[in-house]
Every structure is written in structure tokens, then in C-alpha cells.
């Protein structure tokens, strides 16, 4: 089994993205627990820019390696964020008072199950794509500043 990606070991990438990943996960939890702090979600887009920046400035990675690091961070934070969202959806906290009052509880259950599965599948994929692209932007900025 191949244990490297792009010529670097997974552990090398993990050392680079570990703290930003934990910050991203903490932001996911905060946004779920305190929806009025949803503006914090914007900070989540700054994390892969930072990953790309430090990949180039501190670790002398190439743009390709910065993209891979961002993608790895996106997969991890997307997966954990997807699980957090799924739990939130399935717990009923995502169900609006209007739906509850209208008696759509059973219909919501079917919808919630589908939404939860979708969150767990789609979030890591989108996280990898978006964070990989943003990490390249951060890396490119670091190379040119």
C-alpha cells in the first residue's frame, strides 16, 4: 500500500494541517451550537488559505503539495463537520417550529435521514475540492509576496 501522496508522506501533511483542522472542527461545533455565530463560518474559508501560505513560507512546499495539504484538511474537517451536521439534523434541532406545529414530524424523519447521509458523503468531497483550491491561492500568494 502506497503511504505517500505527491512524494510526501501523509504524516508530513498531517503535521502541517493538524492545528488548522482542529480549529475548523471547533468552528463547525460553534456554528451548530450558536447559530447566531454563523459569521464564524467565514473564518473556515481562511483556514485553507493559511494552510497554503504556511506550506510555502514555512515548509517550502510546492503549489501541488499545498493543494494536497489543503485537500487533506478539507476531507478531515468535511467528514467531521458532516457527522456533526448529521447528528444535528437527526436530533431534530434542525426541524423548524413551523414544521413541528404542522405535524410534519414523520416526513421530516425521512428527509432528515437523507440529508444526514448526504452531509456525511458530500461534505468531505466538497471540503477537499474547496480547501485544495483555497490552499493553492494561499500558496500562490505566499510565493509572490
pLDDT digits (tens, 9 = 90+) for 37-83: 767 778 889 999 999 999 999 999 999 999 999 999 999 999 998 99
Residue 1 lies in a domain: no
Residue 11 lies in a domain: yes
- pLDDT at position 104, please? 58
pLDDT digits (tens, 9 = 90+) for 85-116: 888 877 766 555 555 555 555 666 677 778 88
Residue 54 lies in a domain: yes
Tell me which DSSP letter residue 145 carries.
Answer: -
Cα separation values, 50 from 90, 127, 137, Å: 33, 15, 10
| Crossing angle of the two packed helices 63-90 and 40-57, in degrees rounded to 10 | 160
Residue 110 lies in a domain: yes
pTM for this model (two decimals): 0.83
Residue 23 lies in a domain: yes
In the chain, how many domains are there?
1
* Domain residue limits at 24: 6-144
Amino acid at each position: 500500500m502506497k503511504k505517500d501522496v505527491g512524494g510526501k508522506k501523509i504524516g508530513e501533511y498531517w503535521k502541517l494541517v493538524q492545528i488548522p483542522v482542529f480549529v475548523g472542527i471547533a468552528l463547525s461545533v460553534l456554528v451548530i451550537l450558536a447559530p447566531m455565530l454563523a459569521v464564524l463560518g467565514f473564518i473556515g474559508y481562511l483556514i485553507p488559505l493559511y494552510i497554503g501560505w504556511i506550506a510555502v513560507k514555512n515548509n517550502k512546499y510546492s503549489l501541488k503539495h499545498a493543494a494536497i495539504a489543503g485537500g487533506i484538511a478539507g476531507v478531515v474537517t468535511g467528514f467531521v463537520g458532516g457527522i456533526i451536521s448529521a447528528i444535528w439534523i437527526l436530533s431534530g434541532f434542525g426541524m423548524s417550529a413551523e414544521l413541528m406545529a404542522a405535524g410534519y414530524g414523520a416526513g421530516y424523519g425521512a428527509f432528515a435521514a437523507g440529508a444526514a447521509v448526504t452531509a456525511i458523503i458530500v461534505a468531505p468531497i466538497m471540503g477537499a475540492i474547496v480547501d485544495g483550491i483555497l490552499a493553492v491561492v494561499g500558496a500562490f500568494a505566499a510565493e509572490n509576496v
